[in-house]
Amino acid sequence: MVPDLVKSPSTSLRLQALRPRLRTRIIAYFSLATFVGVLILSIVTFAVTRNYLVDTATASARAQAITNAQLVRSLVGTSRTETGEVVTNLRTESGGFAVLHLGTENLFYAQAPLRFTQSNLPPNFVRNAIAGASGVQRVNFSGRPYEAVAISIPAIDATYFEVFPIGDVADTLGTIRSTLIATVLAITLVAGGLGFFLSGNVLLPLRRVTQAASTIASGALATRLSPETDPDLQQLVASFNGMADAVQERIEREERFASDVSHELRSPITSLGAAVGVLQGRAEELSERNRTALEIIATQVRRFDRTVMDLLELSRLDARAGQDQPEETHLLQLVERIAMRHGYGEVLVVSDLGTNDVIVVDKRRIERVLVNLLDNARDHAGGASDILLSSNDNEVLIIVDDNGAGIGVSERIRIFERFARGTASRNSIGSGLGLAIVSEHAHAMGGRAFVDTSPSGGARFVVTIPRGDES
């Protein structure tokens, strides 16, 4: 059996990249429709004009040929000896020629024998005309188009040929053709420009929707589209705003639920912690088995308390509670004080910032980021090996290396999600929220958080922070 062919995501992305943009397609469709319409109209116009000009010219020339044939019949019938003079003096169309054949004598008399004779006419046309078949045929002479008229004159046993030029008509038609082609191209270009202008107006509502969606995604959940006067666009606006209302309501409901649950759990956890503390104070009175159970309870209460505290902090981050307090500070000194204050004074702090050490930053956020990274290294990777401060373009980097086995490539994005745990921390006592809090604080400062591999083989957690405006 032949397996089904499934497009990979990369193939789909390549196909999407090759597909023209919507505005380009609108302009192309608009230009193509205009081109086809104008082309058809031009072809019809050219055909009608051509038929009119050719018919008018040939009708006038044929009428002149019939008049000349009647004149020849009268004059030659009176005196056949003066046939040559009669033919020479005929009035023909400008650039035209006449030839007369007398059947009895089997002689041809050309009006201008040095320029045009019967030999310039198609032989079959001449033979058929002499045999009595009058007719009309298109001929070329010296590269120019002519129309030949043959008229049988039985009364004098003669055949009259008159050839008249239709080059002027061909030239006129050529000019009309060139004009129509230039007009088609010009109108198509104008249609393309008009399509470009109109497509901008057509796509303007979509750009507003895109901008509103991006604003909502950045956290401004109250963003809505303004009403439209067009009924179709108003339906789009109403649908988008309804969706945004539903999304905002659900997010706020979930945030309130998480915050309320966390607050409600604080009191019983505090009571449990106090009770466990009392029991631990009299642990020597308990049996070995009870002391072990008490230690397990104490560990889980601490873990529970930490989880609740992290949930409360995430709730505040989601609700954007509190105002940032950026201030100018020496980053190296700030990091050393934070590490010392939280019991990580033995961790080596290295900086290559030099004179770029002074930045504008919210110290509270820096403290939460650094402490969470150090706690993460302590709980899951044997502790932090060092803290590095560096710079990259317009960013400052806070780097924490640990002594663990590193983070697998497949887990490096997922571990910053809430309640996500890496392979090395499956059995640890962490809440699974520490790195999520780090990522949230980094984004709140305009930076980002990611993980790489340290030179020693452990994990290297990196937080980037924009420098901000230095005072």
Write down all domains in the chain, each with its CATH number in brackets: 13-218 (3.30.450.20), 231-317 (1.10.287.130), 324-466 (3.30.565.10)
Instruction: Provide the 10 A C-beta neighbour count for residue 101.
Output: 21
Question: For position 27, what pLDDT does the model report?
Answer: 81
The answer to whether the beta carbons of residues 434 and 310 sit under 8 Å apart is yes
Quote the CA–CA distance of 20 and 14 in Å, as a whole number: 12
Question: For position 400, what pLDDT does the model report?
Answer: 92
The answer to whether the beta carbons of residues 92 and 148 sit under 8 Å apart is no
Place of tokens 């009428």: 63
Question: For position 161, what pLDDT does the model report?
Answer: 93
Question: For position 58, what pLDDT does the model report?
Answer: 78
Question: For position 316, what pLDDT does the model report?
Answer: 67
What is the distance of C-alpha 418 from the center of its chain?
Answer: 34
Question: Which residues of the chain are under the pLDDT cut of 70?
Answer: 1-20, 219, 255, 258-259, 261-263, 266, 310-324, 421-431, 468-471
Backbone angles phi, psi at 289, to 5 degrees: -65, -40
112: DSSP letter:
B
Backbone angles phi, psi at 381, to 5 degrees: -140, 25
Of 319, 289, 268, 300, nearest in space to 431 by CA: 300
21: DSSP letter:
P
Question: For position 5, what pLDDT does the model report?
Answer: 42
Quote the CA–CA distance of 33 and 341 in Å, as a whole number: 74
Question: For position 422, what pLDDT does the model report?
Answer: 63
* Sheet order of strands, 97-102 included: 107-110, 97-102, 158-165, 144-153, 135-141
Question: For position 8, what pLDDT does the model report?
Answer: 46
Quote the CA–CA distance of 435 and 308 in Å, as a whole number: 15
Of 319, 311, 305, nearest in space to 261 by CA: 311
| Residue range 333-373, pLDDT digits in tens | 999 999 999 888 898 988 888 877 888 888 888 888 898 89
Question: For position 245, what pLDDT does the model report?
Answer: 87
Give the predicted TM-score (pTM) of the model. Answer: 0.48
